[in-house]
């Protein structure tokens, strides 16, 4: 293995350990209390290692949020491919969304992470720009899933895919935050969010 490949692998391991440590610190203490120093100590690195990988704590938490989002979207995308290949795929919007969302990828940590990042962005113009760019990227990916599902299932959404995707994301955010406030465990949280998303799909997809 070349030195360049080894260096890249080491850098990826460092970033992954920092992200894992940040997730643990956030879950225990929240975004503000999870300082760079505390994250580095948890990960076993120096501040120098942190700043050679991330410009700021905000950048790290956006990458962590992206990782959480990517895991959920990857699971939904895999389920879309399964439905496309299934000989008995459902045709009713409620059944399709139910099958797509029959995955346990939501949890309290992810909901709190997104909520705190959004709340910080409301007070910081620079962070707002980063948040909106991240949100637009997530919307585009969800719109792609909507287009794939509509094409393969013969459904006719009642609005453009990007608008429907944004509405789906807003509904997910509202339903998941309510579930956390109600003190639901992860299984109940997923069930509550999936029920809300299924109801929305029935109204907006023909």
Specify the pLDDT at position 177.
92
Q: What percent of the chain has pLDDT over 70?
A: 93
Compute the average pLDDT of residues 124-141. 86
Confidence of residue 51 (pLDDT cuts 50, 70, 90): very high
Report d(CA 162, CA 124) in Å as an integer. Answer: 26
Strand-pairing partners, residue 50, are: none
Q: Does residue 5 sit in helix, strand or coil?
A: helix
The whole-number pLDDT of residue 102 equals 64
What pLDDT is attached to residue 131?
Answer: 86
Comparing 88-92, 111-115, 143-147, 169-173, which segment has the lowest mean pLDDT? Answer: 88-92
Query: Which residues are bridge partners to 205 per DSSP?
Result: 157
Global model pTM greater than 0.85: no
Q: Where in the chain is the domain with CATH 1.10.10.60?
A: 1-54
Given this structure, which CATH class describes domain 57-204?
mainly alpha
| Range(s) of the chain covered by CATH 1.10.357 | 57-204
Q: Nearest Cα to 49, choosing from 66, 62, 36, 31?
A: 36
pLDDT score for 43: 92
Second CATH level (architecture) for the domain 1-54: Orthogonal Bundle (1.10)
Report the distance separating Cα 4 and Cα 92, nearest Å.
51
Tell whether the torsion through CA atoms of 97, 103, 105 and 106 is positive or negative. Answer: positive
Determine the Cα–Cα distance for residues 205 and 146; give it in Å rounded to an integer: 10
Confidence grade of residue 101 (pLDDT, cut at 50, 70, 90):
low
């Amino acid at each position: 293995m070349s030195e360049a490949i080894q260096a890249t692998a080491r850098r990826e391991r460092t970033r992954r350990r920092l992200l894992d440590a940040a997730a643990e610190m956030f879950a225990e203490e929240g975004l503000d209390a999870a300082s760079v120093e505390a994250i580095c100590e948890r990960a076993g690195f120096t501040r120098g290692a942190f700043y050679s990988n991330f410009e700021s704590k905000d950048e790290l938490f956006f990458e962590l949020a992206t990782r959480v989002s990517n895991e959920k979207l990857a699971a939904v995308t895999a389920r879309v491919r399964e439905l496309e290949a299934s000989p008995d795929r459902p045709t009713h919007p409620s059944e399709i969304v139910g099958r797509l969302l029959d995955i346990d990828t939501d949890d309290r940590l992810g909901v709190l992470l997104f909520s705190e990042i959004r709340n910080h962005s409301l007070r910081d113009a620079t962070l707002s720009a980063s948040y909106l760019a991240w949100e637009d990227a997530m919307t585009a990916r969800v719109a792609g899933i909507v287009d794939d599902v509509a094409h393969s299932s013969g459904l006719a959404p009642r609005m453009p895919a990007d608008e429907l995707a944004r509405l789906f994301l807003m509904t997910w955010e509202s339903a998941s935050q309510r579930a956390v406030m109600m003190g639901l465990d992860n299984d109940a949280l997923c069930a509550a969010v999936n029920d809300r998303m299924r109801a929305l799909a029935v109204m907006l997809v023909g």
